[in-house]
Structure 1
Amino acid sequence: MELIAVQDSFERVAKRRKLSSSKSQEIIIQVVYEIEQALLRIQSSSDSIVADVDQKTVLAELKAKLHVVCSHAHLEGPLQDTELTRCQKVLEKVLHPDISMACVDADFDRHVINQIIIRHFYSEALFDIVDCLVKEAGEDEAISLRLQYQELHEILEALKSRDLGPASKWISANQDRLRESGLDLELKLHKLQFVDLLQGKGRSSALKYARTYLAPLASRHMDAIQRLLCSVLWAERLDRSPYADLADPSNWGSFAEDVTRAFCSFAGRSIRDPLTVALAAGMEGLPTLLKLANVMAANKQEWEAMKQLPVPLELGREFHFHPIFVCPVSRDQCSEENPPMLLPCGHVLCQLSIDKLSKAGTRNFKCPNCPHGASLSQCKQLCF
């Protein structure tokens, strides 16, 4: 609720600032107009003696008009806004500056940390920085990764300029593995090239390409190839045809993502940079950790002595990577000895929690998450 009040205050201040800016523009326009009118009156005077008198009069009148137009009430009144200063304490409370409270001392493997940082810089194509880091940290084995990342970046950079050459070369070299994985990157590549030729060089070039590269794929992708060939009839207006999706520029980005995903899979690494994921997850969980640290500090408990968080740390599904289940009752992580069990109502508990609730299977029990009842025999083990 406090943040909502702060947001409302910012919105009100923004409206007043907008109004103040509008008034200032009006004043500037009026000042320019009065000065221009004064200059016209001075220039229209032809008699030098009279002109001297007229100029003094005109300048006096201009001064009086500008004093009225540019009064302090017009300019300073709208800007005297102290509403945001009242929100300072709320912002300091919510946006806690000391995030070190949520940190704990941990023994990290230096080699692992170096590898994570090296892979991050490789993924950003900062090869010069990595070369320096590898040399200073003594991580010589990381040099072998450079060729892999360089090849991937060459493919992606070429795709940005609609050059399919490097991608075609890599797909040809890994054709067997791609087919085993069920990936149709070869077809997607030829579709992009076909449409590019159709829109750039015309029907004849596209059809010639189809006879050379698409014909061998007809046995496996007849429907897709027939649709490509029908699009030839709409060559001049493909973007306004039933085949407009073929000309969608986002197809190139989608193809680049597919190539990246396949490349990373074959290289045995994640498509998402581990360091980026860790930082994003830490930022999302930081408010909860800070609140927990404050509560524990008030109760004079040792934050760094904890081996497990006493409250769940809710993160988005994009941060779910491993088949790990923590029982909502016991807060224990499930294992082979204590597997997750599915109740008839659809909720999941660990085996030990069910044993306790059912008195080792001697009685029925109620699900702790809903009013439905269950028995030990009705529970089924889950296998991730």
Structure 2
Amino acid sequence: MEVKTVKDAFDRVAKKQKLSCSKTQETVDRLSREIEKALNAIQEPTTDTDNPLLHKSLVSDLKKTVQEIAPSNQLEAAHKELNVALSKYPKVLEKTLNSDISKAYRNVEFDLHTVHQIIASFFYGQGLFDIGDCFISETGEPESSARESFMEMYLILKALKRRDLGPALNWAASNSDKLEQANSDLEMKLHSLHFLKIAQDKKSLDAVNYARKHIPIYSDRGLQKLMCSLLWNGNLDKSPYAGFLSPTLWTKAVKELTRQYCNLLGESPESPLSVTVAAGSQALPPLLKYMNLMVNKKQEWQTMEQLPIPVELSEEFQFHSVFVCPVTKEQSREDNPPMRLCCGHVLCKQSINRMSKNGSKSFKCPYCPSDIDASQCRQLYF
């Protein structure tokens, strides 16, 4: 919502700027036409070229036309509207993008060594090896073990982006068992791309021999489609298999290799630091709004075990299932876990304790007429 507010304010300024520019250009063009018209009339040869009264009349008419156009008034009005929009925009920014975020975070002591390693791993994971080396040098940290691993990955990716499949195929072959355990079809994708490269050179027999040697028969008919595409060799772009020419296949191969390489390293293919910052930028505005309303309760905020307000994050930041008790509408916690009733419904432990008087009596499930014995409820683990 906050981002939309800023965007709307920016759009208003941009619109006023375009209108002001258009109005200014229109006024200047009209003045230019009138002046040029008067000059042409003055320079036009007549029988009485030295008649000062004629020239005076033309200048007088031009002056009258300029007064009617009133360029100063028109430009002033357009600029006034633009200035109003511009003066409001900083206020929207100041109100929405509060630079003082200290109200919305806790004072947590971090292990600097761990923080430095996370930042260095971020640089190496993004392929910024020079910056990572500089950071390690300036912080005095030992060289990160992630550097060599990511260096190998980026050399493979660099070759793959220039359509050199050799390094990628060698890595996939050496990690074939691990890829199979991860149910990854990366090796198949890479061999398929190499098959297509051979076929595009109009070497159909070589492509068939390569497929026989390297590509196993898959139930998903992947090999069958590749073989059928040979029937259209030379005209593949006009065939039902034109998708094999799409650069998207290479892009997907790059993404899949990155994902599988990071998985085998025990790393996330998405930078943890980037994900944390992006998720924090979504959580920060509602927390700031809450803290502005609760200015006098800063100490309470520092000691809370759970967020005081619901903070909605986008799906890409939802990594774990969260159970919300249907009775209290509260999220489960370590001291208030979800419990499965014998009827199959699930409530939080505190709700069960309240309804059963701490297990001293049975109670009715709020969602079905079953009588529930609290001692028979079992904790669920997500």
- Give the TM-score of the pair, scaled to structure 1: 0.79
CA contact (8 A) 2:123 2:129 kept: yes
* Local SS of the residue matching 1:341: strand
Aligned equivalent of 2:339: 341
* Local SS of the residue matching 2:301: coil
Note if 1:108 corresponds to 2:107. Answer: no
Separation in 2, partners of 1:37, 1:363: 99
Instruction: Pick closer, same or farther for the CA change 1:242–1:292 going to 2, 3 Å.
Output: same
Q: What amino acid does structure 2 have at the position aligned with 1:205? A: K
* Local SS of the residue matching 1:304: helix
* Local SS of the residue matching 1:349: strand
Aligned equivalent of 1:182: 183
Note if 1:229 corresponds to 2:227. Answer: yes
Report how far residue 260 of structure 1 moved.
Answer: 0.7
Q: Deviations over 1:157-203 (max 9, x none)?
A: 2333333232122112212222232212122112223334445x3xx
Report how far residue 352 of structure 1 moved.
Answer: 4.3
Aligned equivalent of 2:317: 319
Separation in 1, partners of 2:292, 2:265: 43
Separation in 1, partners of 2:59, 2:343: 88
Report how far residue 228 of structure 1 moved.
Answer: 1.2
- Bigger Cα displacement from structure 2, 294-303 vs 70-79: 294-303
Q: Deviations over 1:256-289 (max 9, x none)?
A: 1110111001111111111111111111111222
Report how far residue 332 of structure 1 moved.
Answer: 5.6
Separation in 2, partners of 1:4, 1:222: 45
Instruction: Pick closer, same or farther for the CA change 1:258–1:162 going to 2, 3 Å.
Output: same
Report how far residue 348 of structure 1 moved.
Answer: 4.2
Note if 1:249 corresponds to 2:247. Answer: yes
CA contact (8 A) 1:198 1:232 kept: yes
CA contact (8 A) 2:195 2:210 kept: no
Instruction: Pick closer, same or farther for the CA change 1:171–1:361 going to 2, 3 Å.
Output: farther
Report how far residue 212 of structure 1 moved.
Answer: 1.9
Instruction: Pick closer, same or farther for the CA change 1:351–1:133 going to 2, 3 Å.
Output: same
Note if 1:351 corresponds to 2:353. Answer: no
CA contact (8 A) 2:10 2:89 kept: no
Aligned equivalent of 2:363: 364
CA contact (8 A) 1:156 1:256 kept: yes
Note if 1:24 corresponds to 2:24. Answer: yes
How well do the aligned residues superpose, as a CA RMSD in angstroms? 3.9
Aligned equivalent of 1:121: 123
Separation in 2, partners of 1:222, 1:305: 55
Report how far residue 12 of structure 1 moved.
Answer: 6.1
Separation in 1, partners of 2:369, 2:140: 60
Instruction: Describe how 1:14-93 pairs up with structure 2 within 5 A.
Output: 17-38=17-38, 40-41=40-41, 45=45, 50=50, 65-66=65-66, 68-69=68-69, 71-81=71-81, 82=84, 85=87, 92-93=94-95
* Local SS of the residue matching 1:117: helix
Aligned equivalent of 2:168: 167
Q: What amino acid does structure 2 have at the position aligned with 1:356? A: R
Report how far residue 358 of structure 1 moved.
Answer: 2.7
Instruction: Pick closer, same or farther for the CA change 1:139–1:10 going to 2, 3 Å.
Output: closer
CA contact (8 A) 1:354 1:376 kept: no
- Bigger Cα displacement from structure 2, 262-271 vs 184-193: 184-193
For residue 210 of structure 1, the aligned residue among 208, 211, 216 is 208
Q: Unmatched 5+ residue regions in structure 2?
A: none
Report how far residue 346 of structure 1 moved.
Answer: 8.0
* Local SS of the residue matching 1:303: helix
Q: Identity rate of aligned residues, in percent? A: 41
CA contact (8 A) 1:358 1:365 kept: no
Q: Deviations over 1:225-251 (max 9, x none)?
A: 221121233345434432233222222
CA contact (8 A) 1:325 1:334 kept: no
- Give the TM-score of the pair, scaled to structure 2: 0.80
